[in-house]
A and B are shown apart, each in its own frame.
Chain A
């Protein structure tokens, strides 16, 4: 199965340089302002690259080829779920570097806040995987992309709705210490849901015909 991950890394390697170029540009703009939202972007964007590898696989009928090798359907699915997690961790790592650099510019940087923010975004990113990967295995990358758009629209829409509903009520403010247990719990639930999502994807893919 390591071979499958190797293959995907080679796939991402060629896209990586463009992504890094964009992030460097972003970093140059945002870091000096002490804007930490760039970290969240990394944590979301990197795992999304798994979809790129899946669309390459689909276009080249890689799965069909791979299954003629000593590779089971389960291993194919598992490699993508592992890749997603690795990319998530990688995104957090790159984010951490960016925040370290930010600290040089902004003196009152709250590590606790950054940590919590990153964990919350990581949990949200996990949910993209939780929902999207089974959809991709069921409907294929192209149609699943539409779901992704829908998901983004739904997230954006509900945030807008919440904002408009609560715009007159003063929001209670929490300290990071108060928020931590909630974010922690959310993260734990997300990880469990991720495992369940993997099992569902395996089930879907076992039944699939690769003609």
Chain B
């Protein structure tokens, strides 16, 4: 079963819209939602959480429509949103008192042990926390009611590499349980690359692809060739190409295929960031 399923979701604003967004988060999986700032990542997550009302389409949470049994579904979800924090006047132990009266499954002991692990003082007010500390507090709170699905919006952006690594470790531990799933959005692709099984790329409100990560990085490649060589490629082989100072750079669907076709050409593996750039800046045959 899928923890989250979006089917042909549309939502239009003045000057921006989500167009036919469809993808899913399988149970036990980490799905990374990537895209530039303003591509529609947060809007998609807000739609999943019913913070905004979609114009058309279906969103299923744990197999049920996301507007049905909201309370029940929410008990099983932990969320961390950028710029969405606990009120500045609370300290961590007050946060625990508040959450204890919101989540039936709130586990104070777990929360306190996360605080300890994250080095967060229980009596200091949120307003005196650093950005990284606030983020860690949100993550501790998101985990302390033992959710089976985490929805994280830019949870690692703006954090230093050490803290980011700590958070990734926590997420890896969380996903050890087979029932658990994570949907995380980020424009920091390295972070997503290190943890996600599936990569969903959204650009300008449209899903460009939704693929297992290994498929992407094992098979796709960058072919550096001349303009004449580019003409020898079929549209199905060449996903996108870009004109560079010393020739063409082509994002190809299959590295092994391309090697047979152009034995002497330079063919490099790709990173998620390369793929993103090709999709945004490149052209199609």
Residues of A in contact with B (beta carbons under 8 Å apart)? 1-4, 6-7, 10-11, 14, 56-57, 60-62, 64-65, 67-72, 207, 209-211
Contact = CB atoms under 8 A, between A and B. Distances in A.
Given A70-B102, A211-B46, 7 more contacts: A1-B101, A4-B98, A6-B101, A65-B86, A69-B79, A69-B102, A207-B53
Nearest to B101: A3
B87 A209 contact: no
Contacts of B46: 64, 210-211
B74 A11 contact: no
B233 interface: no
Contacts of B101: 1-3, 6
Most buried by A among B77, B89, B151: B89
Given A3-B102, A11-B89, A56-B89, A211 B84 contact: no
A70 B103 contact: yes
8 contacts: A3-B101, A60-B88, A61-B84, A64-B84, A65-B81, A67-B50, A71-B74, A72-B70
B94 interface: yes
A69 B103 contact: yes
Contacts, number: 85
Contacts of B86: 60, 65
B58 interface: no
Interface of B: 43, 46, 49-53, 70-72, 74-75, 77, 79, 81, 83-90, 94, 97-104, 151
A57 B98 CA distance: 14
Contacts of B89: 10-11, 14, 56
B75 A70 contact: yes
B283 to A, nearest CB: 33
A180 B75 CA distance: 49
B14 to A, nearest CB: 12
